[in-house]
Structure 1
Amino acid sequence: ARTAPAAPAVAAPAAAGELPAAAPAPPRTLPERVREHARTRPDETAVVTAYPDHETALTWRELAAEVDRAAALLLRLGVAPGERVAYQLPNQAEFVVMTLAALRIGAVCCPVMPFFREREVGFALRRSGARVLLLAETYRGRRPAEELAGLPAEDTARLEHVLVLSDSEESARLPGTDGAFRFHDWHAALAAGEADAARLDARTPEPTALAQLLFTSGTSGEPKGALHRGDVLARAAAAEIRQLGLDDSDVVWVPSPLAHQTGFLYGMWLALELGVRQVLQAEWDAKRALSVLREHRATFVQASTPFLSDLVQVVEGSGQAPPVLRVFVAAGTAIPRSLAERASRVMGTAVCGAFGTTETCLATLSTPADAPAARWGTDGRALDGVRLRVVDDAGRVRPPGVEGNFEIRTPTAFAGYLDRPDLTADAFTEDGWYRTGDLATLDADGYLSITGRVKDVINRGGEKVPVSEIEQLLHAHPAVAEAALVAMPDERLGERVCAFVAVREGDRLDFPSMQRYLDQGRVARHYWPERLEVVDSLPRNAAGKVQKFVLRDRARSLAPQRGRRVETEQEKVGGA
């Protein structure tokens, strides 16, 4: 039997014992909740995967059985309690199964965004130390398993088993390996052994065990691995359920990537807690989404603004609205007022603003009962147990309506950053408040409005772009003297990426050349700049620091031209 990996080095938030009162930890883990649903409603539909041209479905009984089979497979592969299990899958039932299987035996879920390529996947494997990885045989014309086989040895040094999910139940096409790790066909591996319920039950973890490792986007340096406990995630889902009055009559639609906290927690996990049907959108297509919403009579969704924008456009064009879509929580990017008004008018859906981070889960949320201007004109009010404050640089609380640094104190805070107690400590004030890095105001009624950023962040359709990493990569180009990335406003995605580059004397760099360079670097297309501006030099202050506010002003003036833009893979999935 394998021993558990060393406990990750994290530092608890200051004054953690003084966090606001919150609901007690749930008495059951999420897999226990699923087994309860399998007993009480065995033949009701639990998970639907809506592919572009067909659907699959699992009942609660079938889901529980699949989870036990997958959990038994993980045990046969020697997965120990607390060990990180990685998986890179689009929105499909196997993602749900793998999540529950890992949690069933006390392992830590480490989902990886499906659009990540070798550069990002290699980092996640190296930092997580995962021995087991599940990935799709094909994804949008790529072959992730073959990409994996080409990774540097240091990225896969701890990897032992790669499970490949074929496009059908026929055997996957497995690449060869040099013996560093083994490839297995997912379906064949599942069928190779039986699930021993007693052995699985003996591995049931405590609700307070670590459950999730999510890597942040690395906007200010190397991506950080945020760790969450199972009871904290359950508490976060329960807070949204209470705030919105969701119940077992709801149907949850999940177009957001399950590997992102929005889809993982406020789509999949929330539906499993409620015991209701979740409808997974395997690939983003607004027309397909509308048919899915109509067929399954979905009532709730949380997703970034581009999903809402695309859906509204299709509804307006077809004259057909989702019949019972009651609540659309738009998180990740600001909601344009005109879009919220259109959505309310053409779909009859309450569009609610919200604010959250990977580290804190949702902190604020408006409700359908709020006045329209507050519902989608702000980022909502604090959820149960959450406290908010806006302070100046000295830590003094600002009066209502006055901008300052936005901080959160919450019972849904993360356990810490993987192996980085220093960064964990830096994320909190001495008295235990999480520093969001955002500027905001709080009005007299407690409604939050995010007004700006302290951190250097580009938020593209709800996905944070790793600014520092891409800048460093561009700096390494032989023709580049210096480079800086800034946000360029965009009506659909909120922001796109504009690169300002000064080239070396006698050299040149054009947009296609930059694309080829980033492609050779195996960088996810979602992170490629969509505009290149070649300049003589970057503006700097007296201390030599790049004045990004000057570049952002230039980017704003360039945005309407939409010139030299590439349709990236993210464009095709609605900013997910």
Structure 2
Amino acid sequence: MRGDLEFMSVPRLVRTAAERYGEREAVVDGRTRISYRQLGAQVERAAAACLAAGVRTGDRVAVWAPNSLGWIVCALGAVTAGAVLVPVNTRLKGAEAAQLLARTRARLLFVTGPFLGTSYVAALRQALARRDGRTGRFATRSADGQQGLPSGPLPGLPHLRDVVVLADEAPGGSRTWKEFLAAGGSVSAGAVRLRANGIGPGAPSDIMFTSGTTGLPKGVVVTQAQTLRAFATWADLAGLGEEDRYLIVNPFSHTFGYKAGVLACLMRGATMVPQPVFEPGALLATLAAERITVLPGPPALYRSLLDHPGGADRGLSALRLAVTGAASVDGRLVERIRTELGIATVLTAYGMSEATGLVTMCRRDDPPEVAAHSCGRAVPGTEVVVVDAAGAFLPPGGTGEILVRGHQVMAGYFENPSATARAVDPQGWLHTGDVGVLDADGNLRITDRLTDMYVVGGFNVCPAEVERLLARHPGLADVAVVGVPDARLGEVGKAFAVRRPGSRSPSAGELLAWARREMAGYKVPREVEFVPELPRNAAGKVLKRRLRQGVERAGGEAGSGGVGR
């Protein structure tokens, strides 16, 4: 049954899971293990505390914390109280988080205690202190247009009335998690149930912010029904079930972690094992100790496991399913996951925040080459087409922009109708900005972003394709390619490469000579710069604009001689 019809809303999903799966293990977080019944009770208690704190239906509630049981409980508690969830990535700096809180006019913030040596509350205070909170960039206006006054725990964020620290101690102006929960003791279970039952399928579920690789991140609003239908489909296609133990490495602050992780497990009764930090050695230990069966993640996760000493021989026999997806998934990587990690089913998928995170996906009975060379075909209820620059539909084999139409296309960008109109046309097609090609069976292969393509002497070059090929070099750990100006050819490629730890090879000349044997001449970068690491945003995407800006500041044009550093 479709998730939107079966559960109607995320709060009802939580309640149904508690009733349906009862004493089955729901979450394993370090030494803490709780059942689905216990999880349901904790979520209802958190929802009662939200009501006691004055959270109203439609208020935005933010969570700025790593993957943990606490994140799951406070987020689902807020949604059960009728709030719209605003997940905040822990990799954001204080000023970036403050921007999201201000733009969404968040009413309540759940924030982690000190994490990896950082105090997140202190980071927010410092960011706000650097600006005039009353009249500056972070000040916001109420619905009647009046300037907000700092009345909450963080001056400069006038709508933020409450900050709850997920720890035993909290700085002045904020509350601990225990204090917050205790204040909800006066709210009855009936009041919580009444609020939860008032949330319909068309109500907003969350605001997920785009990664912002080309500008200010936009808040994507998705409804309850869209969320439930998309990830009931995901769970069905993945074959997720009650016996599965799911290691959730993808951040809960993004669709892949929260919805393909937490919500999909709630739908199917799987055990959630949240992982707050990605460290290959610790990850391998958890995979073995918890007998993990399901491990979705980006390509970099699997490369790290494969490259870790003993990674392919760590007692991972329980692993049965891997799900990955990216523009540059390499078919060889898919084969290595199968053969070296011993994962029988490897599925690839494609999604984006504006499409509720799910557009295409492989099927479990697909031939292995489908996952190795595509990200599957459109999920049920979804149309995917490829169009040329004039907007005309292209036949199979044609390369152009990917358009998506279906139930999962966002309700819109938060309070940004002009950007919404640019992204979704009057016919309901979402213009993704991604470039790809469909085969005769409808399987989609992503080749690049429209904004990343460049032209070498009249030939279009997709950097992602070049990156996939360069990534096969045994001496490279990471690589990104951008187009740079060239006096003779107009543009040429420049590669920014990261060598494997402890290696001094290849040199620029060696890498370019290798590239000439692997790809057409016009695709070969003309220059290589070796860097310690690639600049990435909070979502882990390479900030290519920063790489281009570095080239521009250097003031030079990339030559054709293959200069390297």
Q: Quick one: which amino acid aligns to residue 224 of structure 1?
A: K
Quick check: 1:90–1:114 contact (8 Å CA) kept in 2?
yes
2 CA distance for matches of 1:136 and 1:486? 40
Deviates more, 1:186-195 or 1:338-347: 186-195
Q: Quick one: structure 1 residues 172 and 87, their matched pair in 2 at CA, closer, same or farther if it must change by over 3 Å? A: same
CA contact (8 A) 1:172 1:185 kept: yes
- Aligned counterpart, 1:202: 194
Q: Could you tell me which amino acid in structure 1 is paired with residue 169 of structure 2?
A: A
- Residue 287 of structure 1 aligns with which residue? 281
| One-letter code aligned to 1:250 | D
- What is the CA–CA distance in structure 2 between the aligned matches of 1:523 and 1:272, rounded to whole Å? 26
Q: Does 1:139 align with 2:115?
A: yes
Give the AA of the match of 2:297. Answer: A
Question: Match of 2:354?
Answer: 359
Question: Counterpart of 2:178?
Answer: 187
1:453 to 421, 437, 449: 449
Map of 2:75 onto structure 1 = 99
Q: Retained in 1: the 8 A contact 2:201–2:224?
A: yes
Counterparts of 2:174 and 2:225, CA distance in 1: 34
CA shift, 1:120, in A, is 1.0
Structure 2 length-normalised TM = 0.76
Cα 1:536–1:325 shift into 2, 3 Å: closer
Change (3 A) 1:266 1:27: closer
- Distance in 2 (CA, whole Å) between partners of 1:248 and 1:202 is 29
Matched, 1:62 2:41: no
Mapped to 2, the partners of 1:372 and 1:523 lie a distance apart of 32
Of 5, 9, 16, the match for 1:29:
9
Verify the 8 A CA contact 1:26 1:235 in the aligned structure 2: no
Amino acid at match of 2:181: L
Instruction: Give distance in 2, aligned partners of 1:26 and 1:41.
Output: 15
Asked whether 1:46 is paired with 2:21, we answer no
In 1, Cα distance between equivalents of 2:203 and 2:296: 26
Q: Does 1:78 align with 2:78?
A: no
Q: Report the CA distance between 1:527 and its aligned residue.
A: 7.5
Match of 2:384 among 381, 388, 391: 388
Structure 2 CA distance for partners of 1:416 and 1:525, relative to 1, 3 Å:
closer
Shift of 1:317: 4.5
Match of 1:425 among 421, 436, 448: 421
Deviation readout 1:447-484 (Å, 9 max, x if unpaired): 101112213599999xxxxxxxxxxxxxxxxxxxxxxx
3-state SS of the aligned residue for 2:351? Answer: strand
Cα distance in structure 1, aligned partners of 2:33 and 2:276: 13
Gaps of 5+ in 1: 1-21, 177-181, 462-484, 493-510, 540-549, 564-576
- Give the total of aligned pairs: 465
Match in the other structure for 2:214: 220
Deviation, structure 1 residue 411 = 0.9
CA distance in 1, matches of 2:540, 2:114: 16
Report the Cα distance in structure 1 between the residues aligned to 2:496 and 2:36, rounded to whole angstroms.
45
Secondary structure in 1 matching 2:354? coil
Q: CA deviation at 1:434?
A: 0.6
Distance 2:547 2:284 in 1: 29
CA contact (8 A) 1:304 1:330 kept: yes
Amino acid at match of 2:418: D
1:434–1:318 Cα change, 3 Å: closer
User: Hey, what's the Cα distance between the residues in 2 that align with 1:88 and 1:373?
Assistant: 39
> For the residues of structure 1 that align with 2:346 and 2:320, how far apart are their CA atoms?
9
Change (3 A) 1:104 1:173: closer
Contact 1:302/1:329 (8 A) holds in 2 = yes
CA contact (8 A) 2:7 2:13 kept: no
SS at match of 1:451: strand
SS in 2 for 1:353: strand
Structure 1: distance between partners of 2:270 and 2:238: 15
* Aligned-partner residue type, residue 337 of structure 2: A
Secondary structure of the corresponding residue to residue 268 of structure 1: helix
Alpha-carbon deviation of 1:489?
Answer: 5.9
When residues 487 and 57 of structure 1 are mapped into structure 2, their CA distance, relative to the original with a 3 A threshold, is: farther
Q: Distance in 1 between matches of 2:497 and 2:113?
A: 36
**Partner SS for 1:26:** helix
Which residue of 2 is the match for residue 117 of structure 1? 93
Q: Structure 2 vs 1, CA of residues 216 and 190 (structure 1 numbering), >3 Å: closer, same or farther?
A: same
Q: Could you tell me which amino acid in structure 2 is paired with residue 212 of structure 1?
A: D
Cα distance in 1 for partners of 2:538, 2:241 equals 41
Match of 2:291 among 285, 294, 297: 297
TM-score calculated relative to the size of structure 1: 0.74
SS of 2:82's partner is coil
Task: Say if 1:536 and 1:335 are closer, same or farther in 2 by CA, change over 3 A.
Answer: closer
**What is the CA-CA distance between 1:244 and the residue it aligns to?**
2.5
Give SS of 2:404's match: strand
Separation in structure 2 between the aligned mates of residue 214 and residue 426 of structure 1, nearest angstrom: 18
- Deviation (angstroms), 1:24: 5.7
Letter matched to residue 537 of structure 1: G
CA apart distance, 1:487: 7.8
Q: 2:497 & 2:390 partners in 1: Cα distance?
A: 31
Matched, 1:537 2:555: yes
What is the CA distance between 1:173 and its match in structure 2? 4.1
Structure 2 contact 327–448 (Cα < 8 Å) conserved:
no
- Counterpart residue type for residue 220 of structure 1: T
Distance change >3 Å, CA 40–CA 240, structure 1 → 2: closer
- Find the partner of 1:397 among 393, 397, 413: 393
Deviations 1:123-176 (A, max 9, x none): 10111100211111212111111112221422512211111112xxxx3141x4
Higher relative contact order (CA 8 A, sep 6+): 1
Q: Which moved more, 1:329-338 or 1:85-94?
A: 329-338
Report Cα offsets for 1:489-513 as digits up to 9, x if no partner: 6699xxxxxxxxxxxxxxxxxx99x
> Does structure 2 conserve the Cα–Cα contact (< 8 Å) formed by 1:254 and 1:263?
yes
Q: In the TM superposition, what is the alpha-carbon distance from 1:486 to its structure 2 partner?
A: 8.8
Letter in 2 for 1:97: V
Contact 2:111 2:166 in 1 (8 A): yes
Q: Which amino acid aligns with 2:15?
A: R
After superposition, what is the alpha-carbon deviation per residue over 1:347-370, rounded to whole angstroms, capped at 9, x for unaligned? 221222211000102111113322
8 Å CA contact retained: 2:386, 2:393: yes
SS of 1:431's partner is coil
Contact 1:252 1:298 in 2 (8 A): yes
Q: Which amino acid aligns with 1:302?
A: P
The equivalent of 2:507 in structure 1 is none
Where does 1:152-191 land on structure 2 (aligned, <5 Å)?
Answer: 152=131, 153=133, 154=139, 155-166=156-167, 171-174=168-171, 176=172, 182-191=173-182
Counterpart mapping for 1:365-384 below 5 A: 365-384=361-380
CA gap of 1:525–1:212, structure 2 versus 1, over 3 A, is closer
Deviations 1:41-90 (A, max 9, x none): 3322111124xxxx322211221121112111111111110110011010
The 2-side partners of 1:398 and 1:491 are apart by: 39
Query: Equivalents in 1 of 2:268, 2:50: separation in Å?
Result: 27
- What is the RMSD of the two structures over their aligned residues, measured on CA atoms? 3.2
DSSP-derived class of the 2:349 partner:
strand
Q: Note closer, same or farther for the CA distance 1:536–1:298 as it changes in structure 2 (3 Å cut).
A: closer
> Contact 2:60/2:84 (CA < 8 Å) preserved in 1?
yes
Contact 2:242–2:271 (CA<8 Å) still a contact in 1?
no
Residue of structure 2 in register with 1:347 after alignment: 341
Unaligned 5+ runs, structure 2: 134-138, 140-155, 454-462, 469-492, 501-529
Q: Distance in 1 between matches of 2:9 and 2:386?
A: 35
State how far apart, in whole Å, the 1-side matches of 2:342 and 2:239 are: 18
Check conservation: 1:30, 1:272, Cα contact below 8 A: no
Equivalent position of 2:436 in the other structure? 440
Structure 1 residues 525 and 333: CA distance shift in structure 2, 3 A: closer
Structure 1 CA distance for aligned equivalents of residues 290 and 451 of structure 2: 41
